[in-house]
Amino acid sequence: MNIFSTIWLLPLFTFIFVNDILPIEATHHVYRNLQSSDDSTDQLYRTAYHFQPPKNWINDPNGPLIYKGLYHLFYQYNPKGAVWGNIVWAHSISTDLVNWTPLDPAIFPSQPSDVNGCWSGSATILHGNKPAILYTGINKFNHQVQNIAYPKNLNDPFLREWIKSPKNPLMEPTIENKINASSFRDPTTGWLGKDGHWRILVGSKRNTRGVAILYKSKDFINWNKSKHPLHSAKGTGMWECPDFFPVLKIGKFGVDTSSNNDDVRHVLKVSLDDKKHDYYLIGSYNEGKDKFTPDHGFEEVSSEHVLRYDYGKYYASKTFFDYGKNRRILLGWVNESSSVADDIKKGWSGIHTIPRAIWLHKSGKQLVQWPVLELEKLRLNHVNLPAKVLKGGELLQINGITAAQADVEISFEVNNIRDAEVLDKWTDPQILCSQSSSRKNGLGPFGLLVFASKGLKEFTSVFFRIFKHQQKPLVLFCSDQSRSSLNKDNDLTTYGTFIDVDVLREKLSLRSLIDHSVVESFGGEGRASITARVYPTLAINDKALLYAFNNGTAGVKITSLNAWSMKKAQLNGKL
Ligand code: DQQ
């Protein structure tokens, strides 16, 4: 995989000049004339169980935490419109990560150190079960600085009110520390070393070198910048929303962010602003030297070793340790693929993925992600089809569920790769995927057609294709949106990746969470995920059809097929 080969849709930076002082270097487009909302909400593409507020723009999940049995989700939110701007920390709570209740925004501009915006950050649970939030403030000079906020009342499980420290900012760019004032943001959750010092990372860049700046503190208030960053990589550009956490070498349980012993490996995730994708590295963390050594670094950009959480539309993710259920949960932002004009017309923009449990795969080479089990409470109308061989060219309709609001799991068995097409040299999977949808000679494409209209004028295909590479099977996993909508103003990019499944020894599974304008898919039992936004014009609501398909020439056996309608979640429920 070459991380520099992905298609770019948005310019990297927007520079705004405010009061002719200093530019804010923002990572999102700024539409200055569109910062207020009209209330014309077109509800067609609103999600039924993927998180979104009633209206307006949302982006990064911020500071997720569990406190007194309640989950807290904060997120970047524009209270005034469907495009990025006026950013505050909106706040919702949940008992199950599926149904949410909104509260008033928790953090909004109010101090000189955040008067021009409250950008992304993270929560840390300090000694005595006291949450603290570190976030990036945009100060009156439009410099990026790091601030802290605490709950006003620890007896309130809703943590409704947050108080900012008069000591803010706690970290700021100075002439001495040579930090670039417009590339210094998104503090991580803190972890406590055996020396009793807290550590956090702040995302940055030096020229084009992406950097995770390390800060240390005894009291979480007075912070010292370490001489060396925890990690950096040339040519990767600005590192946004870093996340650094341990994972158990064996098993699916999560561990506290401060855990560091022989049982764990460490993961560094960065959101590459230049690519708008989330990449992660697995490696070893030497706490004494405060150094992270990845097994495979960003230098290997042309290899398959640089991994992504999601190979579709997905960014600015963050994990937290859910000590109630001993799991690490991953949350991520999914932007729209529609035009800004359409977003304004519909009155909203941005959703979050279903929270995913995340752990290290038994190979040690990659992470596995799986939607939280609580989601299954929404399943109804179970349809189960008996095992059957899907012949080359066959289309099998899956009836009995609401296909526009569904959860589908299908597994395939492949006994030999005799008929698989030979792939001599490594090719970008995204390119292979975009060449794959039509009828092919060989093993696949096979998978699901979702949001399919009658007569197949519209459909999104999520599928596998199996190649023979160096005499071994090589599995391609794709989500093709090129035929998803008659509205050609949408971004119709095809997404894809190779997936490490030994198809001759294990089943090849696919799960797709289908929700009106999103298809969140997991291949190989969570070894790869692809999230796509689609806006069908014909295949909407009860006009959407669902099929299993095989467009290769060789037959392929479906070993199990389970599908459910999904109930609507309470995304904005009342207290
Ligand atoms: N979004 C925030 C920044 C972050 C970016 C601003 C990533 O803090 O770097 O809304 O999407």
Confidence tier at 102 by pLDDT (50, 70, 90)? very high
Cβ of 122 below 6 Å from ligand 1:
no
Q: Ligand 1, residue 136: give the atom nearest the CA.
A: 8
The yes-or-no verdict on residue 303 having pLDDT over 80 is no
User: Could you confirm whether 60 is annotated as catalytic?
Assistant: yes
The yes-or-no verdict on residue 32 having pLDDT over 80 is no
Q: Ligand 1, residue 203: give the atom nearest the CA.
A: 9
Catalytic residue among 60, 278, 407, 515: 60
**Minimal-distance CA residue to ligand 1 atom 7:** 316
- How far apart are the two ends of the chain, measured CA to CA in Å? 46
186: which residues sit within 8 A by CB, 6+ positions away? 119, 120, 121, 122, 136, 202, 203, 240, 241, 242
Q: Ligand 1, residue 315: give the atom nearest the CA.
A: 11
Cβ of 27 below 6 Å from ligand 1:
yes
Ligand 1 center to 27 CA (angstroms): 6
- Taken in order 370, 371, 374, 376, the sign of the CA dihedral is negative
**Rounded to whole angstroms, how far apart are CA atoms 234 and 236?**
6
What pLDDT shows up at residue 10?
29
**Minimal-distance CA residue to ligand 1 atom 11:** 316
**Rounded to whole angstroms, how far apart are CA atoms 556 and 500?**
19
Cβ of 136 below 6 Å from ligand 1:
yes
The yes-or-no verdict on residue 136 having pLDDT over 50 is yes
Give the tokens for residue 237.
């550009």
531: which residues sit within 8 A by CB, 6+ positions away? 310, 312, 313, 314, 332, 334, 353, 518, 519, 520, 521
CA 325 to each of CA 377, 401, 430: distance values in angstroms, whole numbers, following the listed order: 17, 31, 36
The yes-or-no verdict on residue 90 having pLDDT over 80 is yes
DSSP for residue 344: H
- Specify the pTM: 0.93
Cβ pair 239, 204 in contact under 8 A: yes
Cβ of 87 below 6 Å from ligand 1:
yes
Pocket test for ligand 1, best of 56, 185, 331, 334 (most atoms within 8 A of CB): 185
417: which residues sit within 8 A by CB, 6+ positions away? 443, 466, 468, 473, 503, 504
What order of strands is seen across the sheet that includes strand 101-107? 101-107, 88-94, 70-78, 56-67, 348-349
Ligand 1 center to 550 CA (angstroms): 41
Q: What is the mean pLDDT of residues 252-259?
A: 98
What pLDDT shows up at residue 193?
98
Give the bridge partners for 141, in sequence order.
none
> Lowest-pLDDT range, 314-323, 405-414, 431-440?
431-440
**Minimal-distance CA residue to ligand 1 atom 9:** 240
Confidence tier at 438 by pLDDT (50, 70, 90)? confident
Q: Ligand 1, residue 271: give the atom nearest the CA.
A: 7
Ligand 1 center to 120 CA (angstroms): 6
Give the bridge partners for 267, in sequence order.
245, 282
Confidence tier at 301 by pLDDT (50, 70, 90)? low
- Taken in order 427, 433, 434, 435, the sign of the CA dihedral is positive
Q: Which of 472, 439, 470, 469 has its CA nearest to residue 550? A: 439
Element (H, E) at 429: helix 429-434
Q: Which amino acid is at 306?
A: V
Residue recorded with tokens 């100075």: 174
Give the tokens for residue 525.
């039992």
Q: β-strands 528-533, 545-550: how paired?
A: unpaired
Q: What is the mean pLDDT of residues 286-310?
A: 84
Letter string b/e over residues 217-233, b meaning 16 or more CB atoms within 10 A of that residue's CB: beebeebebeeebbbbb
**Averaged pLDDT of the chain:** 92
Residue recorded with tokens 């994972």: 247
Cβ of 60 below 6 Å from ligand 1:
yes
Cβ of 144 below 6 Å from ligand 1:
no
Cβ of 62 below 6 Å from ligand 1:
no
Cβ of 59 below 6 Å from ligand 1:
yes
Q: What is the mean pLDDT of residues 411-437?
A: 91
Query: Model confidence over 329-344: pLDDT tens digits?
Result: 999 999 999 999 999 9
Ligand 1 center to 445 CA (angstroms): 37
Confidence tier at 87 by pLDDT (50, 70, 90)? very high
What pLDDT shows up at residue 441?
80
Ligand 1 center to 324 CA (angstroms): 29
Domains in the chain: ranges and CATH: 32-371 (2.115.10.20), 380-566 (2.60.120.560)
**Rounded to whole angstroms, how far apart are CA atoms 547 and 339?**
28
Ligand 1 center to 143 CA (angstroms): 14
Cβ of 241 below 6 Å from ligand 1:
yes
Cβ of 186 below 6 Å from ligand 1:
yes
**Rounded to whole angstroms, how far apart are CA atoms 71 and 261?**
28
Q: What is the mean pLDDT of residues 90-118?
A: 98
Q: What is the mean pLDDT of residues 340-366?
A: 97
Query: Model confidence over 188-223: pLDDT tens digits?
Result: 999 999 999 999 999 999 999 999 999 999 999 999
**Rounded to whole angstroms, how far apart are CA atoms 332 and 318?**
7
| Exposure on the CB side of residue 315, measured as CA atoms within 13 A | 21
**Minimal-distance CA residue to ligand 1 atom 5:** 27
Cβ of 76 below 6 Å from ligand 1:
yes
Confidence tier at 160 by pLDDT (50, 70, 90)? very high
Cβ pair 432, 496 in contact under 8 A: yes
**Rounded to whole angstroms, how far apart are CA atoms 51 and 14?**
27
What pLDDT shows up at residue 454?
97
Cβ of 327 below 6 Å from ligand 1:
no
Ligand 1 center to 316 CA (angstroms): 7
CA 414 to each of CA 153, 319, 465, 466, 478: distance values in angstroms, whole numbers, following the listed order: 58, 35, 11, 9, 18
Highest mean pLDDT among 38-42, 437-441, 552-556: 552-556
Query: Model confidence over 467-526: pLDDT tens digits?
Result: 999 999 999 999 999 999 999 999 999 999 999 999 999 999 999 999 999 999 999 999
Ligand 1 center to 14 CA (angstroms): 12
69: which residues sit within 8 A by CB, 6+ positions away? 95, 157, 324
Query: Model confidence over 170-180: pLDDT tens digits?
Result: 999 999 999 99
Ligand 1 center to 29 CA (angstroms): 11
What pLDDT shows up at residue 31?
60
CA 503 to each of CA 20, 313, 500: distance values in angstroms, whole numbers, following the listed order: 60, 27, 9
**Minimal-distance CA residue to ligand 1 atom 6:** 119
Give the tokens for residue 45.
């593409």
Confidence tier at 43 by pLDDT (50, 70, 90)? confident
Cβ pair 530, 429 in contact under 8 A: no
Confidence tier at 5 by pLDDT (50, 70, 90)? very low
Pocket test for ligand 1, best of 119, 146, 318 (most atoms within 8 A of CB): 119
Give the tokens for residue 457.
């004028």
Cβ of 107 below 6 Å from ligand 1:
no
Q: What is the mean pLDDT of residues 401-413?
A: 98
Confidence tier at 439 by pLDDT (50, 70, 90)? confident
Confidence tier at 305 by pLDDT (50, 70, 90)? low
**Rounded to whole angstroms, how far apart are CA atoms 207 and 238?**
9
The yes-or-no verdict on residue 7 having pLDDT over 50 is no
